[in-house]
Amino acid sequence: MREIKFRALKLRTKEFIYGSLMSDDKQGVAMIQQRANPVNYGNATGWCFGVDPQSVGQFTGLQDKNGVDIYEGDIVKRLTLYPKGGLTEKLSVSYDKCSFGLGTNFLGNQDSKELEVIGN
């Protein structure tokens, strides 16, 4: 089974947090659930955070050549073999029609070890 996880920017601190995506129908605010201690399921207070809905990105299930997780919204660098000597491309990871993509290519067709996350 593939790992399903998300990341987003916290509203107050603008730092990335990672976890499960939740939504609040009353306020329409996307939230990320993050547990400091996985065995402590007590009251949700302290591990549910309001996040910027525009910053939510899903994990693609792939890692780049440095072992960094690749998320939707990341900017990756790819070295192509042609023309001679190679060419560096900067591409955005996106989600469309039930699959992750790099520019116009399906991400699953890429060798993720040829990619390097350089931003988001």
The pLDDT profile of the chain, 120 residues, written as one tens digit per residue, is 678 889 999 888 899 988 888 877 776 667 777 665 544 444 444 567 888 989 999 999 889 989 999 999 999 988 766 656 667 778 888 887 778 877 766 676 566 777 889 988
pTM of the model: 0.77
CB 43 within 8 A of CB 18: no
Spatial distance between the Cα atoms of 43 and 96, rounded to a whole number of angstroms:
36
Name the residue with tokens 């060798």: 111
